Structure 1
Amino acid sequence: MEKKKALPILFAVMFLVMSGFGIIIPVIPFYAEEIGASPAQLGFLMAIYSLMQFLFAPLWGRVSDRYGRKPVMLIGILGLSLSFFLMAISSELWMLFVARIIGGTLSAANMPTAMAYVADITTEENRAKGMGMIGAATGLGFIFGPAIGGLFSQMSLSTPFYVAGSLSLITSLFVLFVLKESLTSEARNKQGKNRPSLFSAFKGTTSILFILNLFVSLSLAGLEATFAYFAAQKAGLSTAQLGLIFMIMGFGSAIVQGGLVGRLSKKYGEGAVIQGGIIVSIIGMALILLMNSFTTAAIFLTIFGMGNGAIRPAISSMLTKTAPSGHGNITGLLSSFDSLGRIIGPPLGGFLFTISIGFPYISGIILSVFALLLYQVYKTKATTKNSLEA
């Protein structure tokens, strides 16, 4: 039976987690610069977090299959809190790097565990809806978090880190006393006896979905890394205008993930949602090349964000349906591919931008087309496999 009450609680948890993370986003560059970081060192500081998540997300997902979602989620949130407080008291650059390494290593537990939790408490019919709600919570957190961080940064550059750390502590208490464990003792014991290998999810036709997700992540990361420069040159947009544009995009993406993905998946299937999301994101990225004002930038980026936002929940839902158990193993590996995209995407986008300001978006379109073709390959192989089994 579906545990309907648990999903809104998990939504609140992930919103608070991502709000805390979002608080420090607008402050980190200035804080690191104040301590003495060069632009190159700042790049490494940002990348090391994603690298740790790439390495540890599959491990945490696997641990949650064995010991339960709640304790692993607590580790992730408390680890995030610790990293924020360590950053707040950092007086040397190496201290910031230590804090980011700790934060990336431990907080890598949050997203795969949350997605595995959704897989535990939802029926296959409503799986995409649950995954979409997690995506919406994440998106909304990234909208409100930076606004809060910008406000508290007026007091001092270290204040947002204390606020983020405190919010994460409060969130951990909420998880401890309100969120119920989703993985039964019977399920944990069963998985303990028949534990799949760490990369068992990455095999056969399902491996195609992981690669598809990587392409989607690469195109998004490349856009995020270069859009500020692109918009400034194409339309003369200010930092404040860019912040508002990303907020509008975030709301559009959250609406799609929280309200439409579940309904469309139930009616047409996750495959149709993945294909539709890729097509819409291609259209949005192509239109971005034509932007010439604040209005066109906001509209075109929101179109891209709505298409891109539909893809990940549908992929998560489809992948978790491929196995009756070991959902943490699957979602951990999926999160790892997301992180890999965030590691490779920004420097690749920056390099392409130096060649021509439109190249990151043209490459994003090409990657998305490849993703669309990959899904067709997956669909053909899955259909053939089902026919043979029948």
Structure 2
Amino acid sequence: MSTNKLICYWLFCIGFVDLFAVSIVFPLVPQHAKELGASPSLIGLFGSIYGAIQLFSSPIIGHLGDDHGRIKILFLCLMVAAIGYGTSSLCVYSLLLLSLLRFVAGIFKHTQDLCRNCLADYSSVGEKTKSVSQFNALSNIGFIIGPSISGLVSKWLGLASAVSLCFLLCGILFILNGAIVWFVIWPLSEQSNTEKGATRKAKDNEKNLWDKMKGIDWKVHQGLFLSRFLFALAVLLYRSSFILGVKQLYPDLTSADVGYLVSYNGFLGFVFGIIIGWVSVHQIYAGNEEKLQMHASIMIPIGFLIISLSPNVIMLLIGLAFLSVGTTSSRACGVVLTTKRSKPDEAGKLLGFSSSMISVARSAAPLVAGIAQEFSFSAPALISLSLSVVALYVYYHKVFMQPRPKPHLHSD
């Protein structure tokens, strides 16, 4: 087995442990904050800290990775994030200290992005997309298992003790990932010149980045970007309010039940992610991502409509299934459409710009959801429904009904 392929397998392991570690914590924090007396808007502000800091820290971490090597920066981020999560286990009764420690996570929690970039560096030319897809699927398995475990722990120990224990376990798992990087991946990377070549290439291209950004024909992409932003804001707004919302709308649910619901959502994403790969090559959709994106976009407002009107948990589960189909398909199609409509030297920059837009939505969504819940715990789902309808309208008129641009040839 080649050194590069071995590095990729270890990166898969890090991705799984990373999302597993985070997912055992995040379902419990909003419930714990509410028990400490925080209002929904304050909880929303607490959730917005992470996304807002990531909006500014992501380019800096990416730049450091280009200059000093992504493996080294990955190790640094893992260890500092481990300190932040471990320290949080000692501060569970202070929302102020927990909020300050969220800054640490916002600055240094970039494991998923750094691992994907490393996979792009170390994967062979024809397997880059396959490697990233496998990484996403394995990482999602961690997101399926984690919430169920945290729900059971809270049932056995009580919410406050469970939050403290899960933060501590999260920090330990980040240290484990750091050990994998230090003792395994870093020595293996020294045997390969792959990342060094990628770093030199990034430095060579950096000088003309701004000129190339100005040269992009933004009119070709504005409809797709606007619709993606509105869909992302709708989905993130609902997910930010999900845990508190279901606890209020369905008071019989325990913390363990909420954990199972979050795991169910992750399981749907994993299953539909595999199914969409098969559907996309079917003759109905083959080569026509605009059509697949259109059908996926219709599923999202349908899902929000079912969720908004759901009288019981069964209907909620059905609505989440529709929503998962739409979001999983849109996530895959959005990347392909952006790449297909861009020139070969524009694809990376456009995808980076798209990620920045998602970061804006991620930072705004929790605060908007928290303010909406001050009026009604059903309000976030209704706002998400409205945003998704507007996004569908934008996509239909600005992308789907427009003449398909001539695809550009991209080299691997």
- State TM-score, norm by structure 2: 0.76
Pick closer, same or farther for the CA change 1:37–1:133 going to 2, 3 Å. Answer: farther
Contact 1:129 1:261 in 2 (8 A): no
Pick the aligned partner of 2:275 from 249, 260, 267.
260
- Determine if the alignment matches structure 1 residue 165 to structure 2 residue 171: yes
Share of identical aligned residues, percent? Answer: 23
User: For the Cα contact (< 8 Å) 1:25–1:149, is it kept in 2?
Assistant: no
Q: Distance in 2 between matches of 1:326 and 1:122?
A: 21
Q: Decide which moves more: 327-336 or 274-283.
A: 327-336
SS in 1 for 2:14: helix
Once the two structures are TM-superposed, the CA of residue 149 in structure 1 deviates from its matched residue by: 3.4
Trace 1:98-113 onto structure 2 (pairs within 5 A).
Answer: 98-107=100-109, 109-113=110-114
- Classify the secondary structure of the residue corresponding to 2:356: helix
Equivalent in 295, 304, 312 of residue 323 of structure 2 = 304
- 8 Å CA contact 1:286, 1:365 repeated in 2: yes
| 1:168-193 alpha-carbon deviations (Å, 9 max, x no partner) | 11012223444465954233212212
Aligned to 1:174: 180
- 1:238 aligned to 253, 266, 271, which one? 253
Q: Which residue in 2 is equivalent to 1:70?
A: 71
Map 1:115-264; keep pairs closer than 5 Å. Answer: 115-120=116-121, 129-152=130-153, 154=157, 156=161, 157-179=163-185, 183-195=194-206, 196-197=208-209, 203=216, 204=218, 205-206=220-221, 208-228=223-243, 231=246, 238-239=253-254, 240-257=256-273, 259-264=274-279
Separation in 2 of the partners of 1:126 and 1:379? 30
1:287 corresponds to: 306
- Provide structure 1 residue ranges, at least 5 long, that are not aligned to the other structure: none
- 180-189 or 139-148, which deviates more: 180-189
Partners of 2:6 and 2:339 lie apart in 1 by 21
Q: Are 1:368 and 2:394 an aligned pair?
A: no
**Which residue identity is paired with 1:343?**
S
CA distance in 1: counterparts of 2:378 and 2:244, whole angstroms: 11
- Matched AA of 2:230: F
Alignment partner, residue 23 of structure 1:
24
| Structure 2 unmatched runs, 5+ | none
Given the superposition, is the C-alpha separation of residues 213 and 118 from structure 1 closer, same or farther in structure 2, using an over 3 Å criterion? farther
Question: Residue type of the partner of 1:344?
Answer: A
1:266 is displaced (CA, Å) by 5.0
> In the superposition, relative to structure 1, how do residues 104 and 284 fare at CA in structure 2: closer, same or farther (>3 Å)?
same
Post-superposition shift, 1:12?
2.3
Question: Map of 1:4-43 to 2, 5 A cutoff?
Answer: 7-29=8-30, 38-39=38-39, 41-43=42-44
User: Residue 369 and residue 294 in structure 1: after superposition, are their counterparts in 2 closer, same or farther (change >3 A)?
Assistant: closer
Quote how far apart the aligned CAs of 1:99 are. 1.6
Kindly indicate whether the alpha-carbon contact (under 8 Å) linking 2:234 and 2:384 is maintained by their aligned counterparts in 1. yes
Measure how far apart 1:53 and its partner are.
0.9
* Aligned residue type for 2:19: M
Q: Does structure 2 conserve the Cα–Cα contact (< 8 Å) formed by 1:216 and 1:371? A: yes
1:347 to 343, 347, 367: 367
Query: Post-superposition shift, 1:104?
Result: 0.7
Tell me the residue number matched to 1:89: 90
Deviations 1:99-151 (A, max 9, x none): 211111111x3233233344445688766554443443443333322333345
Q: What is the deviation of 1:164?
A: 0.7
Distance 1:250 1:360, change over 3 A: same
Kept in 1: contact 2:304–2:385 (CA 8 A)? yes
Mapped partners of 1:111, 1:319: distance in 2? 21
In 2: Cα distance, 1:372 partner to 1:129 partner: 29
Moved more, 66-75 or 329-338: 329-338
Distance 1:332 1:64, change over 3 A: farther
Contact 1:128–1:265, Cα closer than 8 Å, also in 2: no
Distance across 2 between alignment mates of 1:306 and 1:237: 28
Instruction: Tell me the number of residue pairs that the alignment of Structure 1 and Structure 2 aligns.
Output: 383
Q: For residue 338 of structure 1, what is the aligned residue in structure 2?
A: 358
Contact 2:268 2:321 in 1 (8 A): yes
Q: Which amino acid aligns with 1:212?
A: S
